[in-house]
Amino acid sequence: MNQSSLLKKYLMALTGIVLVGFVLVHMAGNLQVLIGREAINAYAYALQNLPAPILWGSRLFLLVCVLVHAVTAYQLIKENRMARPRANEIEVTKRAGWASLRMGLTGSLMLAFIVFHLLHFTIRAIFPEYNDMKTTVGSPDGSEIHDVYSMILAGFQVDAISIFYVICMFLLCRHLAHGVSSMFQTLGFRSERWRGKLDLAAFAYGWIIFAGFSIIPVLVIAQKYGLVNCLETCGSSCSVNL
Ligand code: HEM
C-alpha cells in the first residue's frame, strides 16, 4: 500500500473513532426516553442551550468528520478497483473488494439516513407541526420548552417511519461491526493474539447500538398496538394528540 493510501486509511480510522463515540453518546442520551419526558426534555434543552461556539463548533466538527470519512472511503474504493491484482492475490482482493463495496453501500445509505433524520427531528421540515410541541416539563425555570419526548413519540407512531429507522439501525450495526474491526486493524491493534477479542468487541458494539436505538421505535409501535404500556402518553401540555 502506498503512503497516500495509508494516510487515507488513518484518516478513516480517526474520523471513524469520532463517529463511533458520537453514536454511542447519542444512543445513551436517547435512552432517557425510557426514564420519561422530564429526563429527555431536560437533556435536549441543555444540549440545545450550550454556548453557541461549543454547540456549533461540535456540529461543524461532526460534519467535517462525516464528510472526510465518506470522501476518503470513496477514494479508497476507487483506488482498490483500479489496482490490478496479481494471480495469487485475486481471491484476497476479491474478498477485500466485496467487503469495501458493502461498506460503501451501507455507508452511503447511512449518509442518506442522516439527511432524512436531520430533516425529521432536528430541522423538523418533514412534519413542521413538531415545532408546536411545547411543554414546561423538563424546563429548568418553568418556561415553555420544546417537547422532544412528544416529538419522538409522534415520530415513531408512524409505522413506516419506525420500520425505516429499525432497518437503518440494522445497516448501521453491520457498518459499525466491520468498520470498528478494520479501525483496530489500521491502528495496528489487531495482532494475532488480539484479533478474536477485538472482532468480538466490534460485533458486540454493533448489536448494542442496534438494540439501544431500535428499542425506542419498537416500544412506541408496541404501545400503539396495545402490546405494552410503559411509555408516558402525550399530556395536556402537548398540542398534538398522540
Ligand atoms: C431511534 C434512533 C434515533 C433517535 C430516536 C434519535 C433522536 C434524535 C433527536 C430527537 C434529535 C434532535 C434533538 C433536538 O433537536 O433536540 C437527533 C439529532 C441528531 N441525530 Fe439522532 N436519533 C436516532 C438515531 C441516530 C443515528 C443512528 C444517528 C447517526 C448515525 C443520529 C444522528 C443525529 C445527528 C447528527 C443529530 C443532530 C445533532 C445536532 O443537533 O447537532 N441519530 N436525534
Residue 239 lies in a domain: no
Confidence at 94, pLDDT banded by 50, 70, 90: low
Residue 242 lies in a domain: no
Residue 10 lies in a domain: yes
Residue 75 lies in a domain: yes
Residue 161 lies in a domain: yes
Supply 60's cell numbers: 461543524
Tens digit of pLDDT for each residue in 194-221? 999 999 999 999 999 999 999 999 999 9
pLDDT at 14 (0 to 100): 97
Does the CA dihedral 75-77-82-87 come out positive or negative? positive
**In whole angstroms, what is the distance from residue 81 CA to residue 84 CA?**
8
Mean pLDDT, all residues of the chain? 92
Greatest pairwise CA separation for the chain in angstroms: 71
Q: Count up the domains in the chain and report the number.
A: 1
Residue 235 lies in a domain: no
Task: Write the CATH number for 130.
Answer: 1.20.1300
Residue 121 lies in a domain: yes
Which ligand 1 atom sits closest to the C-alpha of 151? 10
Residue 66 lies in a domain: yes
Residue 27 CA to ligand 1 center (angstroms) comes to 9
Domain that holds residue 91: 3-224
To test ligand 1's pocket by mutation, which of 111, 121, 213 has the most ligand atoms within 8 angstroms of CB? 121
Confidence at 100, pLDDT banded by 50, 70, 90: confident
